[in-house]
């Protein structure tokens, strides 16, 4: 598969790294030569210097032979124009654009984007805010994803020092959760995943599992976590993500009292006009005087959404020191996740990983109903519909040769979620949940007799 990525920023690099691991041909375009030099040191891909909004640049990238065009520059107009060129001049089959401005995303202007035949329009800000809201009820969750029409949850948790999981094997966990429809699909320790047959859970390990939504509360209790949605929330930073998050919390059926702290006066004025019930404060959240006046210990959660990772880390640590029980930090650099272990930051959100996940959902086709790119980058959870002609429906699971790096995590038949066992036979229209290690998603194709446009 030949894929052109317009934009050599963090999102573009994340996409290129992940898609290259699946043996796709990647061409990256960026107008900044220095940025491309940095990319060349990290990835073995073709690099084109120039503007993706110019036909000549796309021609140099071999656009007439491309299968997918991903416009993820930091400029909405460039992304829109380049997608239009990709369709009208080069007839690239799939075109996806990253759009930051909420104005373009409104229903009033959607027809304009559709007229350019853009297959997918993604907003990193909206996607990130949605992910944060989904994780709110579980304090400290690394990942929480609703799947199977809300009947199944995929969850990632960090093993606490006091967790009942510490010192347990995956077999032990199966015994502890025998009455629950729960399956551990991966365990990550620092920078790598550990084979499930060999791992003994340690404090700080990241444990990822899939569970029947009806058993989620019981599962969390065994893992040492609780479900409780915070009411009093302070958001540091009223930029695009902070603003979208505050709007979503205002619309949430759960009652929230929101305070947004924004240091730029003009932006704070904008927030005060656009938000209906949130309290907006113009000031620097790192200012001790403001912190004392706010009496932060009255808040249940602090969410740091400023422009820099370093500020978000400091704000989260300051929140803990001030008595806020739960914290969440927006971090673009995944290396911070491992460095921050044990410092007291409960959860982090990586917008680059979230946008990669969203783009993969557009790219995976055929019977793929959902595709979630795990924030830590260890792999994907695929939600797939079985066909009568699928290999996976021909015999019991115990007789099927499952590719290395692929794990069948569960089967949803109607409203019934079932864990895999050697005697289970998948039926037509069953929804199958599959965990694929990083770079192994393409190997899932062999289990299903349908061609995926991206695989």
Q: Where are the domains of the chain?
A: 2-122, 140-223, 232-349, 370-447
Name the nearest CA neighbour of 307 among 272, 262, 358.
Answer: 262
Query: What pLDDT does residue 7 have?
Result: 94
Who's near 321: CB < 8 A, 6+ residues apart? none
User: What is the DSSP pairing of strand 68-71 with strand 46-49?
Assistant: unpaired
Q: According to the model, what pLDDT value does residue 107 have?
A: 65
- State the pLDDT at residue 357: 82
Residue 427 vs residue 204, higher pLDDT: 427
Tokens, residue 310:
């370093």
Say if strands 152-158 and 182-189 run parallel, antiparallel, or are unpaired.
unpaired
Fold of the CATH domain 232-349:
Rossmann fold (3.40.50)
Q: What is the second-level CATH architecture of the domain 2-122?
A: 3-Layer(aba) Sandwich (3.40)
Q: Which two tokens stand for residue 83?
A: 């997608």
User: What's the whole-number mean pLDDT along residues 30-47?
Assistant: 92
State the pTM of this model: 0.83
| Greater model confidence, 386 or 272 | 272
Q: Is the pLDDT of residue 330 over 60?
A: yes
- Report percent pLDDT > 70 for the chain: 93
Q: Which CATH number fits domain 140-223: 1.10.150.120, 2.40.30.60, 3.30.420.40, 3.30.70.1450?
A: 3.30.70.1450
Question: Distance of alpha carbon 363 from its chain centroid, rounded?
Answer: 15
Cβ pair 234, 256 in contact under 8 A = no
Q: Which CATH architecture has domain 370-447?
A: 2-Layer Sandwich (3.30)
Question: For 277-305, b where at least 16 C-beta lie within 10 A, e where not — what string?
Answer: ebebbbbebeeeebbeebebeebbbbbbb
Helix 124-135 vs helix 240-251: crossing angle, to nearest 10: 50
> What is the distance between the alpha carbons of residues 455 and 447, in angstroms, rounded to a whole number?
13
Residue range 365-383: mean pLDDT, rounded: 80
pLDDT tens for each residue of 56-103: 999 999 999 999 999 999 898 999 999 999 999 999 999 999 988 767
Please answer whether residues 93 and 67 qualify as being in contact, where contact means their C-beta atoms are separated by less than 8 angstroms. Answer: yes
What is the per-residue pLDDT across 389-436, written as a single tens digit (0 to 9) for each?
888 888 899 998 888 889 999 999 999 999 999 999 999 999 999 999
What span, in angstroms and rounded, lies between the C-alpha atoms of 407 and 75? 39
Q: Which of 28, 23, 67 is nearest to 45 (CA)?
A: 28
Q: What angle do CA 148, 163, 351 make, to 5 degrees?
A: 50
Taking the C-alpha atoms of residue 284 and residue 50, their distance in angstroms, rounded to an integer, is: 39
Which of 281, 287, 278, 280 lies closest to 318 in space, CA to CA? 287
Average pLDDT over residues 381-391: 86
Indicate if 140-223 has the same CATH topology as 2-122: no
Output the six-digit token pair for 143.
């990942």
């Amino acid at each position: 598969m030949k894929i052109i990525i317009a934009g050599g920023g963090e999102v573009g690099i994340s996409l290129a790294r992940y898609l290259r691991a699946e043996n796709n041909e990647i061409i990256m375009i960026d107008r900044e030569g220095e940025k491309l030099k940095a990319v060349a040191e990290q990835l073995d891909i073709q690099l084109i210097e120039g503007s993706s909004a110019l036909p000549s640049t796309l021609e140099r990238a071999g656009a007439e032979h491309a299968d997918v065009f991903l416009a993820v520059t930091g400029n909405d107009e460039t992304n829109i124009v380049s997608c239009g060129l990709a369709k009208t001049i080069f007839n690239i089959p799939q075109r996806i654009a990253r759009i930051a401005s909420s104005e373009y995303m409104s229903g009033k202007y959607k027809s304009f984007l559709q007229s350019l035949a853009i297959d997918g329009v993604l907003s990193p800000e909206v996607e990130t805010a949605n992910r944060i809201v989904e994780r709110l009820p579980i304090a400290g969750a690394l990942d929480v994803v609703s799947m199977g029409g809300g009947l199944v949850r995929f969850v990632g948790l960090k093993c606490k020092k006091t967790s009942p999981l510490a010192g347990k094997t995956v077999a032990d966990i199966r015994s502890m959760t025998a009455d629950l429809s729960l399956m551990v699909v991966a365990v990550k320790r620092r920078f790598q995943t550990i084979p499930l047959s060999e791992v003994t859970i340690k404090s700080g390990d990241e444990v990822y599992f899939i569970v029947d939504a009806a058993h989620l509360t019981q599962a969390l209790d065994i893992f040492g976590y609780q479900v409780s949605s915070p009411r009093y929330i302070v958001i540091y930073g009223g930029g695009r993500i902070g603003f979208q998050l505050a709007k979503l919390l205002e619309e949430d059926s759960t009652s929230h009292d929101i305070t947004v702290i924004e240091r730029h006066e003009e932006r704070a004025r904008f927030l005060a006009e656009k938000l209906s019930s949130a309290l907006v404060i113009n000031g620097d959240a790192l200012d001790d005087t403001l912190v004392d006046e706010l009496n932060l210990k009255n808040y249940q959660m602090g969410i740091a959404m400023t422009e820099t990772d370093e500020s978000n880390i400091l704000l989260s640590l300051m929140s803990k020191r001030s008595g806020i029980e739960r914290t969440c930090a927006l971090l673009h650099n995944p290396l911070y996740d491992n460095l921050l272990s044990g410092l007291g930051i409960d959860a982090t959100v990586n917008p680059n990983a979230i946008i990669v996940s969203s783009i993969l959902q557009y790219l995976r086709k055929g019977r793929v109903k959902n595709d979630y790119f795990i924030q830590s980058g260890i792999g994907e959870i695929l939600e797939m519909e079985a066909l009568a002609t699928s290999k996976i429906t021909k015999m019991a699971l115990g007789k099927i040769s499952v590719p290395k790096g692929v794990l069948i995590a569960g089967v949803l038949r109607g409203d019934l979620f079932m864990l895999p066992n050697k005697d289970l036979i998948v039926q037509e229209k069953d929804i199958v949940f599959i965990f694929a290690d990083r770079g192994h998603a393409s190997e899932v194709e062999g289990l299903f007799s349908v061609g995926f446009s991206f695989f």
